[in-house]
Amino acid sequence: MQLIVPSEYSNLSVIVSNDAGSNRFFELGQDNASFNLDLTPDLIGTLRIIAFIIDNEDKFAIDSLSINVLPISKLDSISFINDEINIPLGQSMPLGIVGYLNNSTFINLSQAVKLQYNVDNTTIAYIDDVNLLHALNLGTTYIMASYQGIETYIKVNVYEGDDWINAPTCTTPNTPISTDVYDIGQNSATLSWIPSNPIGSPTVIYNWVIGTSPLVTFGNGVTQGTSYGSLVTTSSLSPGTTYYLRVYATTTCNNTSSGYITSIAFTTSGIYGCTTPGTPVAVTATTTGLTSANLAWAVGNPAGSATVTYYWVVGTSPSVTYGSGVAQGSTVETTVPISSLSPGINYYLRVYGITNCNYSSSGHGTSSVFTTSGSGGCITPGSPVDVFGTATGLNSANLDWSAGNPAGSPTVTYYWVVGTNTAVTYGNGVAQGSTTNTWLSTSSLSPGTTYYLRVYATTNCNNTSSGYGTSYAFTTSTNSGCITPGLPVAVSGIATGQNSANLDWSAGNPAGSPTVTYYWVIGTNPSVTYGNGVAQGSTTNTWLSTSSLSPGTSYYLRVYATTSCNNTSSGYGTSYAFTTSTIVGFILPDHTISLFMVLLQA
């Protein structure tokens, strides 16, 4: 509230007081003609406002004013119905300020107020902005109205339950269901969806986005927006384009959100019947020389309209893209000759079509591999075939293969590698080398080991290479008379005390030769391994005892066997669980023991 001071007075002081004894004191300077009085809750009641001057320490009142500030704990005529605050103002009673008090700060909501004028000359002021209404915390709201120059604050409480405002229960909405896109035009479409339970509360906003990917997210689409309902229209699309609609729901009370629902693809109409071309088919390239080839393809389905331009690219990868190839260009035809390739190289042709009416594109059509003629008759060799490795001893094997198709020219070198897996590559094997023959032998292997032979061929005229040929597995011989032991059987642990147990097992089948060492381990789980147990060791016997255990604990014994001739090992044999004894008895205090001894002596 603003108080105006008569212009003929200056250097005034003002006291504002009420019946409860609350006072405010203001001193106005020479140039002050007004001051603002905030009508906070401590000034509720009948306020007396006195302006005076001080002359020779005497006070001379020059004016006074009284206003009523009425406290009302609950006002029935103010209602909250269907997300609206309704305030009857009476005849010709204008509304002053509507707001609420938040930590002694008055929050003005006047801009949200709407007025309804009735036929009986009464006025109802109302607020129907649900976001503002739900922002009201439980507590006190102050509503101020003006009438005939008197400003009145009405204090109302925001209650839970069935009183003035029902405190909204916040529920996160579920993902919407059953999206639909219809009335599709060149640039427009109608979008709809159905909320699913729980719908969410108190107020749910639906965030929708349209993009060319089924994974498009809000903020990254070609068009997007928010809605309180489940039906919107958009006119921000492009003709002849395939889109996806995605929608998720958010509740305003805590901003939690549902997941996305995604529509099936929909396509806008093309300009004047413009049709996006289908992916070119029957894409082929035929070598015509060392550096040349004829490129050809057939139109896709649909052919596209009005005029389709084909963009072609040749590269050494089946995923080469336009702008990254060794040769590329565009044409409205379906054939083109080229002469910018290299001799003896494997290439791929890729083609896609674009219509000029809306510049939409097809996918890529890709040819099979084609190879230009080699320089001076140079031919890249095919992958070697009939690749075999035949063990001839503990450390040796014969390696054989046949030339691929084509054999390659003029001179082909074979690079071979032996390893323990089928994907071993040259430079990473246990034995490897190169030769111009199709056979050799090696003596760099280990006994009793399974290997694979892999071979590829390279021509010296342009250093192009074939793929790998790979043999079946072959295994070198074990040491003469050396037998890997089978896993120990009849493994058992028998507790013999609080910390001790007897451990027993029998040799596996085969027993192994010539000397077998057993490695044993005890742990609290049946998959414990040697080196990680609570007790472990090795022995050439099939029994032993241990005293390194804990009372009342369940254990497992595991044992494996190793032969000394080639250090090959069996798998683990595992016992059933066994449990050490618990501590039995009690301990007497020292004085009890002394008394016990005296009684014995007596």
pLDDT in tens, 321-330: 999 999 999 9
Encoded tokens for 155? 């204090």
DSSP 581: P
pLDDT in tens, 431-445: 999 999 999 999 999
Give the whole-angstrom CA distance, residue 291 versus residue 285.
13
Query: For every residue of 421-450, which 3-state class applies, written as one string?
Result: CCCCCCCCCCEEEEECCCEEEECCCCCCCE
pLDDT at 580: 95
Tell me the torsion sign for CA atoms 71, 74, 79, 80: positive
pLDDT at 135: 52
Distance of CA 500 to the CA centre of its chain: 53
With 0.75 as the threshold, say if the pTM is over it. Answer: no
Mean pLDDT over 193-209 rounds to 84
pLDDT at 195: 86
| Cα R_g (the chain), whole angstroms | 47
Contact present, 203 and 131 (Cβ < 8 Å): yes
The residues, any chain, with a CB within 8 Å of residue 184's CB and separated by 6 or more, are 266, 267, 268, 269
Give the whole-angstrom CA distance, residue 544 versus residue 315.
70
Cα–Cα nearest to 243, from 214, 219, 271, 218: 214
Contact present, 249 and 205 (Cβ < 8 Å): yes
Give me the residue label for tokens 């006195």.
Answer: 50
pLDDT at 95: 45
Give the whole-angstrom CA distance, residue 379 versus residue 461.
8
Contact present, 204 and 251 (Cβ < 8 Å): yes
Encoded tokens for 32? 């002050």
Residues pairing with 15 in the sheet: 25, 50
What is the torsion angle, in degrees rounded to the nearest 10, for the CA atoms of residue 22, residue 28, residue 33 and residue 37?
A: -20
Give the whole-angstrom CA distance, residue 538 versus residue 521.
9
Query: For every residue of 16-70, which 3-state class applies, written as one string?
Result: EECCCCCEEEEECCCCCCEEECCCCHHHCEEEEEEEEEEECCEEEEEEEEEEEEC
21-30, 270-279, 420-429: least confident range:
21-30
Query: Per this entry, what is the length of the chain?
Result: 602
pLDDT in tens, 281-299: 999 999 888 889 999 999 9
pLDDT at 593: 37
- Angle at Cα 459 formed by Cα 457 and Cα 465, nearest 5°? 50
Give me the residue label for tokens 């590269």.
Answer: 315
pLDDT > 80? residue 600: no
CA atoms within 13 A on the CB side of 107: 12
> Which pLDDT band holds residue 273 (cuts at 50, 70, 90)?
low
pLDDT at 360: 83
Give the whole-angstrom CA distance, residue 266 versus residue 599.
102
58-72, 106-120, 398-412: least confident range:
58-72
Q: Report helix, strand and coil shares of the chain as percent, to nearest 5.
A: 5, 45, 50
> Which pLDDT band holds residue 262 (cuts at 50, 70, 90)?
very high
Give burial (CB, 10 Å; 0-12/13-18/19+) of 535: middle
In 10 A of CB 519, how many CB atoms? 20
Identify the H or E element spanning 591.
helix 590-601
DSSP 263: P
Encoded tokens for 140? 């006190």
Identify the H or E element spanning 594.
helix 590-601
**Winning range, highest mean pLDDT, from 13-22, 45-54, 264-273:** 264-273
Q: pLDDT exceeding 90 applies to what percent of the chain?
A: 45
The residues, any chain, with a CB within 8 Å of residue 516's CB and separated by 6 or more, are 485, 507, 540, 561, 562, 563, 564
DSSP 128: -
Give the whole-angstrom CA distance, residue 171 versus residue 256.
9
Give the whole-angstrom CA distance, residue 376 versus residue 381.
15
Across the chain, what does the average pLDDT equal? 77
pLDDT at 421: 94
Mean pLDDT over 451-470 rounds to 91
pLDDT > 50? residue 137: no
Mean pLDDT over 305-323 rounds to 91
CA distances from 19 to 34, 52, 117, 204 (A): 24, 20, 37, 47
Encoded tokens for 158? 């925001």
Contact present, 544 and 537 (Cβ < 8 Å): yes
Give the whole-angstrom CA distance, residue 274 versus residue 251.
42
Contact present, 429 and 347 (Cβ < 8 Å): no
> Which pLDDT band holds residue 114 (cuts at 50, 70, 90)?
low
Give the whole-angstrom CA distance, residue 82 versus residue 89.
20
Give the whole-angstrom CA distance, residue 381 versus residue 412.
7
